[in-house]
Structure 1
Amino acid sequence: MQFALYGLPVAFLVLLALEQAFPLRKAKGPLWPRLRVNFCVAILALTVAAILVKPAASALLGQASRQSFGLVPLLPLPEVMQWVIGFLLLDLSFYYWHRANHAWRFLWRFHNAHHIDPDLDVSTAYRFHFVEIGFSAGFRVIQIVLIGGQPWVFIAYEFVFQLNTLFQHSNVCLPIAVERWLSLILVTPRMHGIHHSQIREENNSNWSSVFSCWDRLHGSLCLNIPQAQVRIGIPGYSLAEDNRVINILVMPFRKQRDYWRGPSGRSAGRPSRPGGSSASRMAQ
């Protein structure tokens, strides 16, 4: 736990430094004003997480350590295999949760606060509306009750999940050969950058959290968009005032605009896949 406590802030600072030295995409605006906005939004989200997520998860994990419940303990498998399956089921369930946050309009109102960030970097990893974090607390309770298993598996997964969330949101330009190899296993910056595209079809892809295999299995993988062609954000919320802290927080409670049409009334689009390449082949 101490390693996780210090490891995540260290990872954040390292990635923040690396993305300044080796940026993947050119930023639309200056860094520090965005960092201030994302920090303020994150403080509220982390406060809700401390109040709701941690106590609920801790109570259930304590109960799980005293008595077995959920699917995993019922499997007639060696304990090590139960650990592996439990870890994978946690990640698979987050794939469905992320997809639900895009598909269900009520959830999307709050998840949209994460996506309207005009640039994508490691600070975006913590930019979530505090109400969405409250919903996530309920989802984590369902995860623990239905999946079950050893408490340490949940704790280990949460650390890996948080670490890879920082990594995939970062604007670090890895060598393309390295990232193509990594993306066979993990969600990477180029892969998740496409998920933050202003184009609806690209935004509705790459929902995996840690392991990229879930997008491959569900046919939702998209890798063949060059990062120079990826425009980050949501067209309907692309005005400068949309990214003021107060507007981010109240936006879900207001009448929603057309998400996919910008101020000019036009929607972002791409005539065709670049070069007609396969969606599973990562582009520069």
Structure 2
Amino acid sequence: MVKRGRSFWGALGFGAAVGALFLLERMRPLRSRKEPGAARVGRNLTIALLAGATTAASEIPLVSPVQRLAERRRLGLLRRLPMPGALRVVLGFLMLDYTLYVWHRMNHRVPFLWRFHAVHHLDLDLDSTTGLRFHFGELALAAGFRALQILLLGIDADTLRLWQQLLIVSVVFHHSNLELPADAERRLVMAIATPRMHGIHHSTRPEELDSNFSSLLSWWDRLHGTIRLNVPQAAITTGLREFQSPEDVTLERSLALPFADDRRLAHSLLHTKHGFGAGRRDFQH
């Protein structure tokens, strides 16, 4: 009963946060739009509903049993190392976030993973609904990766829940089209991914697409030299270079893309393979 109550209030809080961002980004837009709002938002939310159903379905047969197994048999790195409980939570949080950075980079490198992740990058505009727009196949694969994180790292259920709750809010926030005061964003980006930072990652330009992979903490891009900040938002064309027509991003084509024999998909993957680069670390305009 307590767990169900926490889930309810967590979902309510998340819904309120998304709703607030949705309104604020329309009052203070960071980037101009290319597509009419209603049709695009409806498409993104439909993709999001399918992804959400997939995530919920994968928790019961995969993630939850692995969590119980790891706890029962004390599996994973953090359970093997003697340390205070608070330190275990902090390290678990950081390890989850870092390995998600690695997973995101893998999605831009491995052809099979890119077929699904490319659907997220098809969006011709970028706002809070893009943060929910992930192909259901990508979420199914991510559930398997999440199980590996739990099993190998030794992440306890409370740490996982805390990280996931903050992560999903962060993902919606940094995909949003909300124009923050430059000084505020300059401070925020020292610690977390922000709208200007992640907007660069959704650029059609290969060197910009191949940057800013962090999903919550921005430290991992700084660590690996993949951070790129000083790009004016007005200079960014959002989406994939090979899929810039509205006909390319319909709901039907978005859902079918991972299974389609489309040479443009392979070509778009080549644009992401630039390796670790010396990113531009100065602040964006």
Give the structure-1-normalised TM-score.
Answer: 0.91
2:173 paired with 1:162: no
In structure 2, the residue matched to 1:275 is: none
State the one-letter code of the partner of 1:241.
E
1:4, distance to aligned residue in structure 2 (A): 1.7
2:20 paired with 1:14: yes
Change beyond 3 A, Cα 1:12–1:54: farther
2:283 paired with 1:282: yes
1:64, distance to aligned residue in structure 2 (A): 3.9
1:65, distance to aligned residue in structure 2 (A): 4.0
| 8 Å Cα contact 1:235/1:259 also seen in 2 | no
- Cα distance in 1 for partners of 2:166, 2:106 equals 22
2:89 paired with 1:83: yes
- Output one character per residue of 1:105-138: Cα deviation in whole Å (capped at 9) or x when no partner: 1111110000010000000111111111110111
| 8 Å Cα contact 1:69/1:149 also seen in 2 | no
- Cα distance in 2 for partners of 1:202, 1:5 equals 33
- Output one character per residue of 1:213-257: Cα deviation in whole Å (capped at 9) or x when no partner: 000001100001011111100011111111111111111111233
After the TM superposition, which of the residue ranges 10-19 and 51-60 deviates more from structure 2?
51-60
State the one-letter code of the partner of 1:236.
E
In structure 2, the residue matched to 1:274 is: none
- Cα distance in 1 for partners of 2:262, 2:78 equals 41
- Which residue of 177, 180, 183 maps to 2:186? 180
In structure 2, the residue matched to 1:135 is: 141
Paired residue secondary structure (1:160): helix
Paired residue secondary structure (2:131): helix
In structure 1, the residue matched to 2:195 is: 189
In structure 2, the residue matched to 1:245 is: 251
Alignment length (residue pairs): 270
Paired residue secondary structure (2:247): helix
| 8 Å Cα contact 2:67/2:147 also seen in 1 | no
In structure 1, the residue matched to 2:274 is: none
In structure 2, the residue matched to 1:71 is: 77
- Cα distance in 1 for partners of 2:258, 2:208 equals 22
Give the structure-2-normalised TM-score.
Answer: 0.90
In structure 2, the residue matched to 1:97 is: 103
1:55, distance to aligned residue in structure 2 (A): 4.4
Q: Percent identity?
A: 40
Paired residue secondary structure (1:215): helix
Change beyond 3 A, Cα 1:30–1:122: same
| 8 Å Cα contact 2:193/2:217 also seen in 1 | yes
| 8 Å Cα contact 2:44/2:129 also seen in 1 | yes
2:30 paired with 1:29: no
- Cα distance in 1 for partners of 2:126, 2:258 equals 21
- Cα distance in 2 for partners of 1:162, 1:55 equals 22
| 8 Å Cα contact 2:174/2:198 also seen in 1 | yes
Paired residue secondary structure (2:263): coil
State the one-letter code of the partner of 2:263.
R
| 8 Å Cα contact 2:111/2:266 also seen in 1 | no
In structure 2, the residue matched to 1:151 is: 157
In structure 2, the residue matched to 1:227 is: 233
- Aligned Cα RMSD in Å? 1.7
- Cα distance in 2 for partners of 1:260, 1:133 equals 21
| 8 Å Cα contact 2:150/2:156 also seen in 1 | no
